[in-house]
């Protein structure tokens, strides 16, 4: 028998052995059960968690996209920016000692939070690295509770703590195999790994060189998690990248909105503070931004009364003027806080601390409705009724600051 004949006779045996080897070490691909089959095969607990899983997933994807699409979120001078929010959190949060040093990094931190929200939401929806995504959702929600919701009393008015416990439940339960696409289920599994280790079907390494089966299986969970986390991260970055063109398209509108004071803030960007404010006035008609503080300090230094914060002419013209309570203010006043001096329907004037009593965001002025609005969660305050809450979730009125109006000079001064 020729060598060729011998080879042709042995070949079927070798291939059969390879197939057996492969069958022994490679798990069978799971069948692709229909959604109905998945649903009836899942436990009642996993079925019950489907609504919360998809609601949380969609909400986190929306929250992440919303941040990337909102040009004011990354604009440090906007009252809704991540910079303003971190500053507000630093006033009320027990994590203030950690937040303050991070304020210069507000923009990258905001981008990271938005990316994390996207990844968590996508993980919940697709089943990719599901438990890790849900644990991340729990951690992020708990962080929000300690910052954005910390000032909410009683605590059950805040949404972040329920989110944290909801995510924790999902992390503990897993998907139960429900609504997980087959390709997601296979990503990073033993099947993929075995193929990488041993080659495709029919090309088997000699037994002496094959790693034992336990080595095939041992790292599978961590490998699977790593692969799925990588895919999830890449998908989140791609999705965030897709928002860029929309963001640029909206940037002009946002710049206009920011100049006019977003969320309806009364502002006079056309009139620099120095040109409209008399000596000693620390008001800035420009919504609170990094440039307003130095102007205020310089003006205050030359002021006959450092607590003079605005003029009636400014307030009359705009309905409300944003000021900063001078750093030199006595302890009875919230030094450094943003505040609003408002023209009342009665013809008088009032001044309110502009820190929202819900979670510390900076409140703005809505000139259309003559109310003060919080851009974070929509709280509304009535200036004509001592900043009473018109609309929650703010639990109490804004702090009213005492003022003295000098009718002769038109100056408005905070009263110590």
Where do contacts with ligand FES occur on this chain (CB under 6 A)?
Answer: 356, 358-359, 361, 374, 376-379, 393-394
CA 390 to chain centre: 26
Residue closer to ligand FES by CB (options 95, 235) is: 95
Between vectors from CA 123 to CA 119 and to CA 125, what angle results, nearest 5°?
A: 120
At CB < 8 A and 24+ separation, what contacts does 248-256 make?
A: 250/69, 250/71, 251/71, 253/71, 254/70, 254/71, 254/72, 254/75, 254/78, 255/71
Cα–Cα separations (whole angstroms), residue 105 to 98, 124, 230:
12, 28, 25
Least CB distance to ligand FES at residue 373 (A): 9
In the bound complex, what is the minimum distance in angstroms from residue 269's beta carbon to ligand FES?
Answer: 24
Nearer to ligand FES, 187 or 356 (CB): 356
* CB closer to ligand FES, 240 vs 374: 374
Closest CB 144 distance from ligand FES, rounded Å: 11
Instruction: State which residue, 129 or 394, has the beta carbon closest to ligand FES.
Output: 394
* Ordered strands of the 349-353 beta sheet: 320-324, 338-343, 349-353, 400-401
202 or 378: CB nearest ligand FES: 378
CA distance 94 to 391: 26
Residues 78, 263: Cα–Cα separation, whole Å: 9
Cβ-based nearer residue to ligand FES, 140 or 394: 394
Radius of gyration (C-alpha) of the chain in whole angstroms: 30
Q: How far is the CB of 394 from ligand FES (least distance, A)?
A: 5
Shortest approach of ligand FES to residue 152 CB, angstroms? 8
10 Å CB burial of residue 114 (0-12, 13-18, 19+) is: buried
Closest of 381, 332, 331 to residue 355, by C-alpha? 381
Nearest CB to ligand FES, comparing residues 50 and 390: 390
Residues 6+ apart with CB under 8 A from 184: 126, 127, 128, 228
Nearest approach in angstroms of CB 358 to ligand FES is 3
> In DSSP terms, which residues pair with 403 in a beta bridge?
414
Q: Which is nearer to ligand FES, 376 or 414 (CB)?
A: 376
Contact 350, 403 (CB under 8 A): yes
Q: Which residues pair with 365 in a beta bridge?
A: 372
């Amino acid at each position: 028998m020729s060598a060729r004949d011998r080879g042709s006779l042995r070949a079927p045996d070798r291939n059969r052995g390879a197939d057996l080897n492969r069958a022994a070490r490679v798990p069978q691909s799971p069948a692709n059960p229909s959604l109905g089959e998945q649903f009836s095969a899942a436990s009642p607990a996993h079925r019950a968690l489907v609504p919360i899983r998809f609601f949380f997933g969609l909400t986190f994807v929306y929250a992440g996209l919303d941040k990337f699409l909102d040009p004011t979120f990354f604009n440090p001078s906007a009252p809704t920016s991540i910079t303003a929010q971190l500053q507000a959190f630093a006033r009320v949060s027990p994590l203030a000692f950690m937040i303050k040093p991070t304020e210069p990094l507000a923009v990258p931190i905001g981008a990271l939070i938005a990316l994390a929200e996207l990844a968590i939401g996508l993980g919940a929806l697709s089943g990719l690295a599901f438990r890790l995504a849900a644990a991340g959702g729990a951690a992020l929600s708990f962080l929000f509770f300690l910052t954005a919701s910390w000032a909410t009393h009683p605590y059950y008015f805040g949404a972040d703590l329920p989110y944290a416990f909801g995510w924790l439940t999902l992390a503990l339960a897993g998907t139960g195999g429900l609504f997980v696409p087959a390709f997601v289920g296979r990503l990073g599994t033993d099947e993929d790994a075995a193929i990488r280790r041993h080659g495709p079907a029919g090309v088997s390494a000699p037994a002496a060189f094959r790693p034992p089966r336990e080595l095939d299986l041992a790292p599978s969970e961590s490998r699977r998690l790593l692969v799925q986390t990588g895919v999830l991260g890449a998908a989140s970055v791609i999705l965030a990248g897709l928002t860029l063109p929309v963001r640029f398209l909206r940037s002009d509108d946002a710049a206009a909105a920011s100049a006019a004071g977003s969320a309806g803030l009364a502002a006079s960007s056309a009139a620099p503070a120095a040109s409209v404010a008399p000596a000693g006035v620390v008001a800035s008609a420009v919504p609170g931004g990094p440039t307003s503080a130095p102007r205020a300090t310089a003006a205050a230094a030359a002021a006959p009364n450092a607590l003079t914060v605005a003029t009636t002419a400014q307030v009359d013209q705009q309905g409300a003027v944003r000021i900063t309570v001078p750093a030199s203010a006595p302890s009875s006043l919230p030094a450094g806080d943003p505040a609003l001096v408002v023209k009342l329907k009665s013809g008088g004037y009032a001044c309110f601390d502009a820190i929202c009593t819900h979670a510390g965001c900076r409140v703005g002025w809505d000139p259309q409705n003559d109310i003060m609005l919080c851009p974070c969660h929509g709280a509304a305050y009535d200036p004509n009724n001592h900043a009473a809450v018109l609309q929650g979730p703010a639990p109490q009125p804004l702090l009213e600051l005492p003022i003295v109006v000098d009718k002769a000079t038109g100056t408005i001064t905070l009263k110590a």
